[in-house]
């Protein structure tokens, strides 16, 4: 039986510009990324200490930072799509869940976000 483990990234503040706003609109001051990467448990239950035995997520986080800062996005969904495509390039990632939210939404409060889960077959088709 295949066992899965997850790597969880929470509340990563992205340096990005998303949306088009009018003079009376509330402009979000932050966009936060949540990302759960499901991987084979062999990359967590390791025989000895060493980076060669685990999934090195640092290059992926660097790529996410680059994508986020790459330009202006009209929608959170487009930025999420590009992040998902970046994740798909890593064979170790079997499935993933991603959420991106912005805030504030009204009167200095609230957050509004989009979430999606991508299964193995969809990740494979993106590769």
Size (the chain), residues = 127
> Which residues are CB-neighbours of 27 under 8 A, at least 6 positions away?
19, 21
Pick the CATH number of 4-126 from 3.30.1130.10, 3.40.50.12280, 3.30.460.80, 1.10.3720.10: 3.30.1130.10
pTM of the full predicted structure? 0.93
Q: What is the pLDDT of residues 76-117, one digit of tens each?
A: 999 999 999 999 999 999 999 999 999 999 989 999 999 999
Tokens of 113: 């976000």
What is the C-alpha to C-alpha distance for residues 97 and 117, in angstroms, rounded to an integer?
4
Q: Please report the pLDDT score of residue 2 as a whole number.
A: 63
Percent pLDDT > 70 in the chain is 98
Q: What is the pLDDT of residues 69-85, one digit of tens each?
A: 999 999 999 999 999 99
Q: Please report the pLDDT score of residue 91 as a whole number.
A: 95
């Amino acid at each position: 039986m295949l066992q899965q483990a997850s790597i969880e990234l929470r509340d990563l503040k992205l340096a990005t510009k998303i949306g088009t706003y009018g003079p009376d609109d509330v402009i979000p001051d932050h966009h936060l990324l949540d990302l759960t990467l499901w991987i084979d448990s062999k990359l967590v239950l390791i025989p000895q200490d060493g980076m060669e035995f685990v999934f090195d997520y640092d290059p992926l986080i660097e790529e996410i930072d680059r994508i986020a800062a790459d330009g202006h996005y009209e929608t959170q969904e487009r930025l999420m799509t590009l992040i998902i495509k970046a994740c798909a390039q890593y064979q170790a990632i079997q499935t993933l869940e991603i959420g991106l939210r912005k805030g504030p939404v009204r009167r200095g409060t609230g957050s509004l976000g989009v979430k999606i889960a991508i299964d193995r077959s969809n990740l494979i088709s993106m590769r």
